[in-house]
Structure 1
Amino acid sequence: MPTEPRTRDGRAPRVLVVEHEAQAPAALLGRWLVEAGAVLDVCRPYLGEDLPEDLAGHDVLLVLGGSMGAHDDAEAAWLPGTRALLREAAGSGVPALGVCLGHQLAAVALGGSSRPDPAGQQLGLLAVGWSEEAAADPLLGPLTGTARRGLHWNGDVVQDQPPGTVVLARAPGGELQAARFAPSVWGVQLHPEVDEHVVADWADDDPGEQPRERLDEVVRRVAAARGELEAAWRPLATSLLGLVGTFTSP
C-alpha cells in the first residue's frame, strides 16, 4: 500500500481550505485529500468564521472558487486576508493551490490582475491546453498524460500574469488555464474538484446568463464523464501533498 504523506515531524499534513460559498465546496478534491492522508481545516468566512491571520499550523493552502471577483472586497470582506495568505504561502514555501476564483486571487495577490473574459463566460468541459513546461512541473506534471479536459464555469480570467509566472496550460480561447505563479503557488482556472451534483447546484443558482437547456446539458456531460474526470484529476491530491516540506523560503 502507498505510504501516507507525513510532515517532517510525523504529522498528517493539515490543509487550510478557504471556501467562499456553500455552493463551491472542495467536493471531490477534498475527499481525495482526506483519502490521501490529509486533515482538512475548512474555513467558511461567508458564515462569519474568522479567516486565520497566517498559515501557522498548516502545511498546504487550498483556495476554492466563488461567484465574486478577485477584486470584490466590498462584497467579500475576507478577500484581502485570503490574498495575504497566498502571499505568505509564496514567501514561506507552503504549497498553495487556487481553483477558479482562487486562481485569480493568487494572480492578483502576487502582482497580476483579473477581469471579465472579453470572449464571454467559459462554460462546459473544455480541453486542457498543456504547455511544454507543464510536463516537468512538480504539481501538475503527473497529470499531463491523463487530464485532457476539465470543467470551466467562469466569467473572469487572469489578465496580467505576476512576474515570473510559468504558464502550464491555456484554454481553447488562449486564456490562462493553469499556472505556477511562484515556486510554491499554483492556480487552475478550471474545476478539478466538482462532480455533477455541485454543477447541478450551480445550474439552479445561475442568474440567467445562459439558457437553462445549455446548463442542463453541461450537467449531463459532467455526469457522463464522471469516471474519466475522477481518474484524470484524482492524482492532483497526492501530487499536492507530496510537495509538503519541499520548498524553502525565497
Structure 2
Amino acid sequence: MTSTVSRTGHRSVGELLRRWRERRRLSQLELSIQAEISTRHLSFVETGRSAPSRDMVLRLAEHLEVPLRERNPLLLAAGFAPVYGEHDLAAPEMAEIRAAVRQVLTGHEPYPALAMDRHWNLVDANDCLLRLTRDVAPDLLTPPVNVLRLSLHPDGLAGRIANLGEWRAHLLGRLRRQASTTADPTLTALHAELQGYPCDQPQPEVEHPGPGDVVVPLRVRSAGLDLALFGIAASFGTPTDITVAELAIELFFPADPATRTALHTLADRQP
C-alpha cells in the first residue's frame, strides 16, 4: 500500500480531502459524480489505499471549493510541490493588482468603497469611505483596521446605525458562513468577539426586507448625513496567487435618491 502521509508528518491527503468533503456536506457519491471519478476510487483515496495524482488532488480541491491557501497543504500531503504562490500586496509583482484595486475604488466616487483581505482587514479605501469613518474612535482606525470591528464596535459606527440589529445579523451571518467555508480559526475567533459586542436592537434570525425594500440596506448617520446604502462584493475572477484570491472589494451604492444627492453634495464640498 502506498502511504499518503505528508512528509511533514501531518494528516494524510485522504483524511484532508475527506474533511473538506464533509465540511461541504457532500457524500462520496455526490463528489465522485461531480469530479467524474468512481466512488470506489474516491473511497480508496480517502482511506489511503490509493495515492492520488497531482491533477486528481487539484480536481477534487476545485470541486470541493477548497480555498487556494488550503490547496498547497493538500498537494504537500500527497507528496507534490505547492503550485500557488503568495506575494505581499506591497511587492513589486503586485503593482498591477494594487493599481486595479485603486482604479475601482476611486472610480466609485462619490460613493464609499473599500478593499479588504481574508480576515476583513482594510487594504485600501476611497476618500468617501474615509470621510464617513474619520470621527470614530482613533484606535479602531489604527492599522490593521478590521472592517467588521469598525462597523459593530460601540465606539465605531454601531452607535450611528439606525438598523443595527438587522445589519449586525447580516454581517455576523456572513462571517459565520465564511468561517465555516474556510475553516479559518481567526475568522471563528473574530465571530466570537463580535458576538460579544452590545446591541440594543432585536436581531432577526432570518434577513427580511422592510416595506418597499428590495435589499436590506445599511442605514447610518455619518458626516452629518442620514444615509441608506446597499453593498456589492467583487473579487478577481481568475486568481492564481493566494493574496489576490483572498482580496475582496466592497462597493456601496445609494439605496434611495436622498442618499445619492447627499453623497454628491458631500463630495462637491471637498477641496
TM-score bucket (shorter structure): under 0.3
Normalising by the residue count of structure 2, what TM-score does the alignment of the two structures yield? 0.25
Compare CA radii of gyration and give the structure with the larger one. Answer: 2
Normalising by the residue count of structure 1, what TM-score does the alignment of the two structures yield? 0.27
Structure with the higher fraction of residues in helix conformation = 2
Q: Which has the higher contact order (CA 8 A, sep 6+)?
A: 1
Structure with the higher fraction of residues in strand conformation = 1
